[in-house]
Amino acid sequence: MTHTTNLESVVKKSIAETVADIIRNGILTGKIKPGEKLKEQELCKELNVSRTPLREAYRLLQSQNLINYSPYVGVTVVSLTPRFVEEMWFIKSLLVPQSVALAAKNAAPEKVEALFAITEELESRCEDSPEIFYSLDSKLHLAIAWFSGNEELHKLLTNIYDSTVLARSLTVVNSRSIKNSCDEHRMILNAIAAKDGQSGVARTLEHLERSRRAILSNIS
């Protein structure tokens, strides 16, 4: 009985994650608009799922600040505010540069090679879909945090990147902004490879500032 229950939970989780991925992609591509209400019955029919995995998917999306739930309104896509962006990017400006500085100090050569490999994958697949770009972007920054050697810093940044996925979707809106982002990643990694923490911090702050301005210009 226990094994069956565990298997069922794994299957349900798999379905919930798939549903969350579909809805997340709709939000990030703009097919589902900020403030739009997600209608449970319609989504269950469209995605051919029951209410249980859909509601589990909602919980996943809510943990990433993509949707809100109100007892009187229901489930709606979040509407980004300048205050949220300013507050989250203030926190990122304190933590992300430190992860880069520590990675420059602590990352072994093979770890730096792994970072460049992620960057190359990001550059080759950056225009496949918005979700792939942001997934690989998060993978790169969190790998830097992991190679910093500070596990608690990595945990904090994992939560932050999960919570800002919608905001970050507004930072690269065309091929030029994608190229700029990739170039900035290269400069950050070059600094890490050279064990130049000071340069890495400076390049990271520039990267964060560009993304902050891009987001604010797209929601104002």
What domain count does the chain have? 2
**pLDDT of the residue at 9:** 53
Stated pTM of the model: 0.79
Cα pseudo-dihedral 73, 75, 77, 83, rounded to 10? 60
Does one domain contain both 17 and 51? yes
**pLDDT of the residue at 134:** 82
**pLDDT of the residue at 3:** 46
Does one domain contain both 189 and 169? yes
150-191 pLDDT, tens digit per residue, is: 999 999 999 898 888 888 877 766 778 888 889 999 999 999
Q: Which CATH number fits the domain that encloses residue 63? A: 1.10.10.10
Does one domain contain both 16 and 107? no
Does one domain contain both 25 and 115? no
Q: Which CATH number fits the domain that encloses residue 143? A: 1.20.120.530
Does one domain contain both 44 and 98? no
**pLDDT of the residue at 216:** 92
**pLDDT of the residue at 176:** 80
Does one domain contain both 115 and 55? no
Q: How many CB atoms lie within 10 A of CB 24?
A: 25
Choose the final residue of a domain: 54, 77, 100: 77
Show the domain range for 28.
Answer: 2-77
**pLDDT of the residue at 172:** 64
Euclidean distance between the first and the last CA atom of the chain, given in angstroms as a whole number? 54
Does one domain contain both 45 and 120? no
**pLDDT of the residue at 39:** 95
Mean pLDDT, 10 residues at a time, the chain of 220 residues: 49 80 85 90 95 94 89 90 94 98 97 97 81 86 98 95 82 76 96 98 97 87
Choose the final residue of a domain: 26, 45, 77: 77
96-112 pLDDT, tens digit per residue, is: 999 999 999 999 999 99
Does one domain contain both 25 and 71? yes
The answer to whether the CB of 57 falls within 8 A of the CB of 17 is: yes
Does one domain contain both 128 and 174? yes
Q: What is the DSSP letter of 71?
A: T
Task: Kindly provide the b/e burial profile for residues 71-105, where b requires at least 16 CB atoms within 10 angstroms of the residue's own CB.
Answer: eeeebbbbebeeebbeebbeebeeebbbbbbbbbe
Choose the final residue of a domain: 35, 58, 77: 77
